[in-house]
Chains A and B, each alone.
Chain A
């Protein structure tokens, strides 16, 4: 399973963009990068995933470097409700199982 490195915590001002980095230098060629978040006391929530190209949906944008060794999740206008732990998870390939790392606790400040 690919290992990931994420900063343990980040702060962001409400209304500003939140950029959450993730290093996944051991990702294999057929693994996607998935992002989930977990708001306190709730189940994790799927945000977005991608393989090579940048992706955007109604929640966020995902930027994946050309060598696929790192990615950045962008929340364009963070709100207080975006305060959560964000997990970057490579998944796919031979073993399809979602293994959570320690994630980044994003605190959106008013």
Chain B
């Protein structure tokens, strides 16, 4: 298995909702990442997990809460989002932080 799987592919949520994005890989990668991408912009790094521990938080608002329950799974919990948080959310993984990343196809999030 050489893929990073993200679910759901599309999500529409209200500003008072709580939802979660899921990312899964079975390549034995020990580093996992969340990125946010707005239309016509490059991906922006949000969080880095290395060996299941949060190693980098790029000053992301607390309404985004990452979780890494095990080495294969990465979640992004969403609460009280704003319409400007609408974006493509990308997950990636790598053998560790020194190696090339494999990206998932993303979750397209719309906040209404």
B-contacting residues of A (Cβ < 8 Å)? 34, 36, 38, 42-46, 49, 85, 87, 92, 96-103
Chain A at the B interface: SS class: loop
User: What is the count of residue pairs linking A and B with beta-carbon distances less than 8 angstroms?
Assistant: 45
Query: In the complex the two chains form, is B106's CB within 8 Å of A97's CB?
Result: no
Name B44's contact: one of A36, A38, A100 (CB within 8 Å): A100
B11-19, B67-75, B90-98: which lies at the A interface? Answer: B90-98
A43-B90, A92-B98 known; A100-B42 Cβ under 8 A: yes
- Residues in B with CB closer than 8 Å to A102 are 42
- Residues in A with CB closer than 8 Å to B42 are 85, 87, 100-103
Which size bracket describes the interface of B in this complex?
Answer: 20 to 34
User: Could you list 6 examples of A-B contacts with CB < 8 Å?
Assistant: A43-B103, A85-B42, A98-B45, A99-B45, A100-B44, A101-B42
A97-B45, A97-B48, A100-B42 known; A44-B97 Cβ under 8 A: no
Please give the distance in Å from B94's CB to the nearest CB on chain A: 9
The CA-CA distance from A49 to B95 in the complex, in Å, is 15
Residue of A34, A36, A38, A43 with most chain B CB atoms under a 10 A cut-off: A43
- Residues in B with CB closer than 8 Å to A96 are 31, 96-98
| Residue interface mask B79-112, A partner, CB < 8 A = 1 | 0000000000010100011101111111000000
Please give the distance in Å from B49's CB to the nearest CB on chain A: 12
Name B102's contact: one of A46, A85, A87 (CB within 8 Å): A46
- Residues in B with CB closer than 8 Å to A103 are 42
- Residues in A with CB closer than 8 Å to B100 are 34, 46, 49
Query: In the complex the two chains form, is B103's CB within 8 Å of A45's CB?
Result: yes
Name B90's contact: one of A44, A92, A97, A101 (CB within 8 Å): A44
- Residues in A with CB closer than 8 Å to B31 are 96
Query: In the complex the two chains form, is A43's CB within 8 Å of B106's CB?
Result: yes
| Interface residues in B31-49 (C-beta closer than 8 Å to A) | 31, 33, 42-45, 48
Please give the distance in Å from B74's CB to the nearest CB on chain A: 14
The residue on A at minimum CB distance from B102 is: A46
